[in-house]
Each structure stands twice: as structure tokens, then as C-alpha cells.
Amino acid sequence: MTDAAAIAFQSVTVIYDGAAKPAVDNVSLRIAKGEFVALVGTSGSGKTSLLKTINRLHDPAAGAVQIDGGDIATVDAVQLRRRIGYVFQGIGLFPHLSVAENIAITPKLLGWSRQQQSGRVRELLDLVELPQEFSDRFPAQLSGGQQQRIGIARALAARPDILLMDEPFGALDPVTRDNLGSACRQIHERLGLTTIIVTHDMQEAMLLADRIIVMRDGLVAADGPPADLMSKPGDDDVAALFDVPRRQAEKLSALAARARGAGPHA
């Protein structure tokens, strides 16, 4: 038991009622404090299921999850969740609450004063680069990308040590996506978080994360720093996964070279 692990999965298995095979199958992983981990893999491979065991949205059928060395099955789920930021795949903002009320929800549950709450809302709007005027709007009055930013701000509101993000940039255009990704990485550094992000975008995973975990059929198919996995993918499927951004990068640089070489030809 080295104490460096912020999150440790010990033979975690998740089986949904009536499912033939487990969504997460006997997974053991250690995630160090301060790590930025990308969780990738095909649809249905068990990424969300694994993530939900960390804040007890779903308890594993077997195995245990530890945070800072303590088994989370023994702590109160409600208190645990208030210490962990979680950004949903489907955003999940509360439609009847204003932006400010959405962001301040966990601080409010924790009993922060009104002033502390509104101060925190201002900080977080700045952090996710949204204007302060948005405070009084309702989620339906925001674009999809703006809603996702609010989702991230809400997850960070109570100053968690752990940030879990499930495909947080799904609804964004490439430019915003890139900006917000970098912003997340900066926030991660600045606040000293332990972050797990689920993404389908391999390029994003490779550029943002310190470490990539590839899941397949509930199992960990590969695990390591991006550069290592690119050079030693382990098996063909993982290799194919890492091949995508590589081939894209090659094509793009060729295209860029041609564009430069051709010059203004009109």
C-alpha cells in the first residue's frame, strides 16, 4: 500500500441487473495524486461504469475502490460525492435553477454562506471564461458548449481534490473544444487535482493526459503514458486506436506542406 494513490481500484467488477456479462470486469488500477488520466475505449466498453464507482453512483458487485487509502464503501455516499467533482456525459444541469444556483449547489449543500457561494460563482465563471451576466440565466438559455462549461464549473465549485469528467466536451466545436481542454488542464495544474477524463477523441487524450487507459469489454486493454502506448501498443486493436491520430497528423502535415509549397497560385 503506497500512500501515493489518490484512487485505487482493487479487482472492481460492475454487473448491471440482468446483464449477461460484467460492464467492468475485475479491474485493478492505481491513480496517483495529481495525475491527469484519459479513459478511452469503444462505446459500451465500461468507461462510464468504472467512473461511477468512484463517487458511488454505482457500487461494484465485487472488489473495492479506495480514495486516499480509505475504502469508500465505508463512508457516507452523500458526503463522498460532495468532495468529488463530476461532469456528466449528458451535462445534467438542473433546468429550473439559474446558472449561479447550478454552480453553487454543492457549496450550498455543504452549508457555505450566501456570500461565499456568490463569490465562488464569480470565480468559477471567470475560470471557465463565461461572462458574469450569465449568472441569472437558465440552462435552456445557453448554448450546448456554454452548458458544458457550467457543468465543469459546478463540478469544481466545492473545491474537490478529484475531478471526474465523462465526455465533457461532446457538444463543442473544435476550436472551443481545444480551448476548453487546455483550460481544464490548466485548472488541473493550478488546483493540484487528480483528474480522470473519458473521451472518444484520441488526439485530445494524447495531448491533454499524462496517462491513457484503454478499456475494452470491461477490461483494461492498455495503460500507460501516451508516448509509450504509441510506440508499444501491446496489441493490434490498441495499435489501430493510436494509429488514427498518427495517420491524421501525417496527412495534415503533408497537406500543410503542400499548401505552403503551392503558394498563391491564382
Ligand X SMILES: Nc1ncnc2c1ncn2[C@@H]1O[C@H](COP(=O)(O)OP(=O)(O)OP(=O)(O)O)[C@@H](O)[C@H]1O
162-166 vs 219-224, strand pairing mode: unpaired
Q: Pick from 55, 72, 194: which is nearest to 63 by CA?
A: 72
Does the footprint of another protein cover residue 109 (CB under 8 A)? yes
Does 224 engage in binding with another protein (CB under 8 A)?
A: no
Q: Is 78 in the site for another protein (CB under 8 A)?
A: yes
Q: Residues 6 or more apart from 111 whose CB is under 8 A from it?
A: none
Q: Which is nearer to another protein, 91 or 202 (CB)?
A: 91
Q: Can you tell me the distance from the alpha carbon of 153 to that of 149, in angstroms, rounded to the nearest whole number?
A: 6
Task: State yes or no: residue 177 binds another protein (CB under 8 A).
Answer: no
For the record, the C-alpha cell of 255 comes out as: 497537406
How far, in Å, are 31, 121, 182, 210, 260 from residue 155 at the CA level? 20, 12, 17, 21, 43
Stretch that binds ligand X, among 15-23, 122-130, 185-193, 250-258 (CB under 6 A): 15-23
DSSP assignment string, 145-197: HHHHHHHHHHHHTT--SEEEEESTTTT--HHHHHHHHHHHHHHHHHHT-EEEE
**Residue 16 makes contact with ligand X by CB under 6 A:** yes
* Interacting residue with ligand X among 9, 12, 47, 124 (CB under 6 A): 47
Would you count residue 82 as binding another protein (CB under 8 A)? yes
Spatial contact of 134 and 142, defined as CB atoms under 8 Å apart: yes
53 forms part of the interface with Mg ion (CB under 5 A): no
Which 8-state DSSP code applies to residue 262?
A: H
162: Cα separation from own chain's centroid? 10
Q: Pick the binder of ligand X from 40, 45, 81, 212 (CB under 6 A).
A: 45
Q: Residue 135, interface with ligand X (CB under 6 A)? A: no
Q: Indicate whether 120 belongs to the interface with another protein (CB under 8 A).
A: no
Q: Is 43 in the site for ligand X (CB under 6 A)?
A: yes
Cα gap 227→26, rounded to integer Å = 26
Footprint of ligand X on residues 63-122 (CB under 6 A)?
A: 89
| Binding segment toward another protein, per CB under 8 A, in 81-89, 112-120, 199-207, 209-217 | 81-89
**Residue 41 or 107 with smaller CB distance to ligand X:** 41
Contact 94, 121 (CB under 8 A): no
Q: Is 55 an interacting residue with respect to another protein (CB under 8 A)?
A: yes
Q: Which segment (40-48, 64-72, 77-85, 145-153) binds ligand X by CB under 6 A? A: 40-48
Number of residues engaging ligand X in binding (CB under 6 A)? 12
Using CB under 8 A as the criterion, which residues of the chain lie in contact with another protein when the complex forms?
55, 57, 78-82, 86, 88, 90-96, 105-106, 109-110, 138, 154
